Structure 1
Amino acid sequence: MKARTRLFSFALGCSLAVAAHAQTDFVNWESPHVHPLEITPSGTRLLAVNTADDRLEVFDLTTTFPSWIGSVHVGVDPVTVRALSDSRVWVVNHISDSISVVDLDAMALLDTIQTPDEPCDVVLRDFGGGQLHAFVSCAQPDLVQTYKVDGDSVRMLTAIDILGEDPKAMAISPDGNKVYVAIQTSGNKTTILNGGNLVLPNIVSDPAGPY
């Protein structure tokens, strides 16, 4: 009986140690999503970033309800996914400062592109004739990087400084001639008004406010 008790105590101790180790392995960076969902051009696949598990989840949309196909391990804290085609996907990893290029046919990671600190979003512009450009917003250095994509080859072209703090979400104009960049802290002199009161509130010291 004593031997059995000692064995149980040892097993319990090992389980607790493994559980404690597993808990310390996970760090919640609370990275904000920018473009976490995407549907492939054919409409047959739904793509979703699994930020906490550092994965891209893939779902089949040809069935009555979306059904899970599988997942691909990407970088740390993915926040954006964009589909270049039905088989090629770019995933932006906010904490590991990288972009994961994923092959949906093989359900595998093809390449990892390193970026400046805290990339947030990527948009893609096809100029035709194999001229595909990617634009990547990077929050900490306040810039947008441009890349030329030629098949499996990716080459950085330039970095554009943004006059604002923390550029994040992006979109391409319908004619494809402009890239719009949303800036989190743009310094555009907006403020919060106290509804129905002519006196402006002190937002910083307001106990009911988020600051």
Structure 2
Amino acid sequence: MVSGKPTIVLVHGAFADGSGFQPVARQLILAGYPVVAAPNPLRGLSSDAAYLGALLDHVEGPIVLVGHSYGGAVISAAARSDVRALVYLAAFVPEAGESAQSLVEKFPGSTVGESLRPVPLPGGQVDLYIDPAVYHPNFAGDLPAEEAALLALTQRPASGAALGEPASGPQAWHTIPTYNLISGADRIIPPAAQKFMAERSGAHVETVPGASHLVFISHPGAAAALIEKAATDHAQE
């Protein structure tokens, strides 16, 4: 790589897309990092991880892999040997047998059940959206209402199968160093659940008090700084 720095691969979660990473990506690019914002199909955990893995196979050199929310479950399954660190931003860090759905139900405080709006699909499948009426208070509470409304309009749905599919096989956080940014006022993944997963994985942990589930948008500086720390800590491996 020309920069001599690892490539930062950013993986969005459900009800979002890669464009939400623009403020974080801008800071990383200015710091000299190659950046890839990977599309996440949001169709099923195993298939989404396979999709990401295929993309990672075409990234040259070392990688720092970053996941937000459901994207955390995807990076945990998709990481390859050239991934130097995993960075979780208000994210799921599942153990084998756990799903996103089971983890949000493990601790009180999540509004995800009341926030979801199902849209039936042919063949008996269901797509899930965050109801725009509650997107701001429940998903993006520390963003301006106007910005939250635009994000609600452009959100990408996740299949019910994706959020309910348990992780399977070895999870990468058992062997790859992890970094976890906890959103202190998260109403989707309760902070207690985030702390439980971070401690279990032995992560370096930082917390943004008052941050919503979209901490990487509302506090891009904190997210970018943690990613740079992960990249710097493991630059020589």
TM-score under structure 1 length normalisation? 0.22
Larger proportion of helix: 2
Higher relative contact order (CA 8 A, sep 6+): 2
When Rg is computed on C-alpha atoms for both structures, the one with the higher figure is: 1
Query: Normalising to structure 2: TM-score of the pair?
Result: 0.21
Q: Which has the higher strand share?
A: 1
